[in-house]
Chains A and B, each alone.
Chain A
Amino acid sequence: MKPSLVVGGALTALLVGMALLSLVWTPYSPTGIDILHKLAPPSATHLLGSDSLGRDVLSMIMAGARNSIAVSVIAVAVGAGIGVPLGCLAAAKGGMVNEVTMRATDLAFAFPALLTAVMITALAGPGATNAMIAIGIFNIPVFTRVARGAAIVIWQRDFVMAARAVGKTRWAIAVGDVLPNIAAVLLVQMTIQFALGIIADAGLSYVGLGTQPPQPSWGRMLNDAQTYIFRAPLLAVFPGAAITLAVLGLNLLGDGLRDRLDPRLRGR
C-alpha cells in the first residue's frame, strides 16, 4: 500500500475518532469556564493548557474537530448533492442544457470563493449553518464540472454505446452505467473539497463568521489566541496544528485514493 494512503488514512481516522469521542467524552467540558485558572500552561491537569476563560484547550480542540467536520461534510454534501446531478445531466443531455450549466458554473467561478463566503455569512448572519451553505455553494460548480467531465468520457465508451444500441434509456444509463464509473473520481474530489472546507471553515470562524461560541471552533480559538500571543503563545499553536494535520491527512488520503482507484492518474 502507498505510504500516502496509510498516513492519510491514519490522520483522517484520528480526526474522525477524536470528533466521535468528543460526543461522549472530553477531559473537561469544552465550554466550561474557570476564570481562576485562565491561560494555564500545558500541565498534567490541562494537557494543552487552558484558554483566556480557563477552558481546557484539548477538550476544545476535540469538540472543534466535531464542529469543523460537521461544517465541511455538509458543505460537501450540498455541493455533491446538487453539483453531481447537474453535471451528469449536462453530460447526458448535451446541447442547451450543457451550455447553460457550463455558463452558470462560469458565473459561479467568477465570484472569489472565500470573499463571497465571507459576504454571505456576514450578511445572512454568522453561524455554522450559514457557513455550511456558503461553502457548499462554492462546492456545487466544482462537482458539476468534475462530474460532467468524467461522465462525458464514460458516455463515449463502448459499453455505453452498446447499451444505447439495445434501447436502454438515457436515464437508466446515467444512473446504472455512468454514475458507478465516475464514483471514484467523485470520491477523490470529495476528500479534496472536504480538506478545503476545513480550511474555509477555520477562516470564516477566524473572522467570527463560522461556528459560534459557546461551541468551540478551531478558527475562533486562533483568533482568541492572537489577543494573548505575548502571554500564552502556545494557544496559537495547537489549533493551527490541528487544522494542518486534518487537512494534511485528507489531502494524503485523496492522493492515495486517486492512485488506487484511478490508475490512469497515477504518478501525477
Chain B
Amino acid sequence: MLPRLIGLLLTLLAASAVVFFVLEVLPGDPASVMLGTGAQADNLAALRHQMGLDQPAWWRYLAWIGHLATGDFGTSYTYSVPVADLIRERALVSVPLALMAITLSTAIAIPVGVAAAAWRGGPRDLGIMGVTQLGVAMPNFWLGILLILLFAVRLAWFPASGFAGWGAGPLPALRSLLLPALALALPQAAILSRVTRSAVLETLDEDYVRTARAKGLGPAAALWRHAVPNALIPVVTILGLQFSFLLAGTVIIENVFTLPGLGRLMLQAIAQRDLIVVQDLVVLLAASVILVNFAVDFVYLALDPRLRHGGAV
C-alpha cells in the first residue's frame, strides 16, 4: 500500500511539473491581458510585481507546489479570489453532472446488458447490439445537439442551454442538467452494456454456473444469482474509467449546453492566461483520475474475496 501511495504522489509531482513548464513556454502574459490595449509600461511592471510574475520560473514552481501541499491553491490572476473558491463553484456543476450521467448510464446499461446476454444470439440480442454499436459511435456532443433539437427546439420542454443555479432549489438545477447528463450517459451506457453482456456471457460459461444449472437451478436464477455478481468486476473497471472520463471530459458538453462547469472554467482560464487556475485544475483532475483508479482496486477486493489473498487482477 505504501509504495503505491508514494508512486501516486510522485506521479502527481511529475504531472504538476509537466503542466507548469508547458504553460511557462507558451505565449501570453497574464498581466497584459488584464490591462488591455491601453496598458502603460509602468502600470504593467507594477502589476507583474503585484502578481509575482517578476520572480524566476523555478521559484514560482516551488512556491506553487509548496502552497498546494498545504492545501492552498493560490489566487486567481484574473479574479483575485482564491482558486479553491472558483473550483468549488464550478465543481457544483460538473460533479453532479458526472454523477447524474454515471447513474443514468449504469441504470440503463446493466439491465440492457444482462437482458442481451440472456437473449444471446436471438433477434432481441442482435437488436440491442446494433443499437449499442451505433451508440458507441455517436459523439456525445452531437447527441447533445440532437437532444436540444428535439426537447428544447421542437417540444420546448427543457431549456436549450444554461444552468439555473442551485440558489433556486434543486429542481431547476437538476432540470438544466438532465439533457447534458443524458447526452453524456447514452454513449457511455452503450459501451457499458456491451461490456456487461460479454462479462455475463463469460461467467455463464464458467463451471460453477454450469454446475448450478445441472443441479436444477432455473436459467433466470442462475443468471441473477451467479452470473451477474461475478460479471461485475469488468463492469466496475469500466465504470471507474468512465467516471474519470466524465469528470474531465465534460468540457465539450459544457460548451454545447453553456454550463459553467470545470471544463469551461479551464477554457476561460486559458483564454485569459489565468495560468494558476489551469495548473490547479489539471493537477486536480489528474489526482482525481488516480484516486478513482485507486478506489476501483478497493471495490475489486470487496467484490471478489479471492483477490484479498494476493491474487492479481
Contacts and interface: CB of A to CB of B under 8 A. Distances in A.
A236 B15 contact: no
Given A112-B285, A122-B271, A247-B139, 16 more contacts: A115-B248, A118-B267, A119-B270, A123-B23, A202-B142, A206-B255, A206-B256, A226-B256, A240-B139, A240-B142, A240-B145, A243-B142, A244-B138, A247-B137, A247-B138, A251-B133
13 contacts: A107-B18, A112-B248, A112-B285, A114-B245, A115-B266, A207-B255, A225-B145, A233-B149, A237-B146, A240-B138, A247-B137, A248-B136, A248-B137
A222 B253 CA distance: 13
Given A119-B270, A203-B141, A251-B137, A111 B146 contact: no
Contacts of B11: 103, 106-107, 110
Nearest to A209: B267
A103 B290 CA distance: 13
A157 interface: no
B173 interface: no
Top 8 A-B pairs, shortest CB-CB distance? A112-B248, A240-B142, A248-B137, A247-B137, A115-B248, A110-B286, A123-B26, A122-B270
Contact of B139 (A116, A207, A236, A243): A243
Contacts of B26: 123-124
Nearest to A223: B255
Interface string B235-262: 0000000001101110110011000000
A268 interface: yes
Interface of B is mostly: helix
A25 interface: no
Interface in B288-306: 289-290
B270 A236 contact: no
B5 interface: no
A222 B282 contact: no
A195 B137 contact: yes
Interface of A is mostly: helix
Interface in A239-261: 239-240, 243-245, 247-248, 251-252
B270 A123 contact: yes
Contacts of B247: 112
B227 to A, nearest CB: 16
Contact of A268 (B142, B198, B282, B290): B198
B192 interface: no
A197 to B, nearest CB: 12
Interface of B: 7, 11-12, 14-15, 18, 22-23, 26, 28, 133-134, 136-139, 141-142, 145-146, 148-149, 153, 160, 198, 244-245, 247-249, 251-252, 255-256, 263, 266-267, 270-271, 278, 282, 285-286, 289-290
A88 interface: no
Nearest to A112: B248
A136 to B, nearest CB: 16
B192 to A, nearest CB: 15
A107 B287 CA distance: 11
Interface string A93-117: 0000000000100110111111110
Tell which of A115, A116, A118, A202 has the most Cβ of chain B within 10 Å: A115
Contacts of A124: 26
A154 interface: no
A182 interface: no
Contacts of B252: 114, 203, 206-207
A123 B141 contact: no
Contacts of A206: 141, 252, 255-256
A175 interface: no
B249 A110 contact: no
A115 B251 contact: yes
A207 B137 contact: no
A227 to B, nearest CB: 11
Nearest to A225: B145
A193 B219 CA distance: 38
Nearest to B245: A112
Contacts of B153: 229-230, 233
A229 B256 CA distance: 12
A109 B293 CA distance: 11
Nearest to B262: A115
A207 B142 contact: no
B286 A207 contact: no
B261 to A, nearest CB: 11
Given A107-B15, A119-B266, A123-B22, A112 B145 contact: no
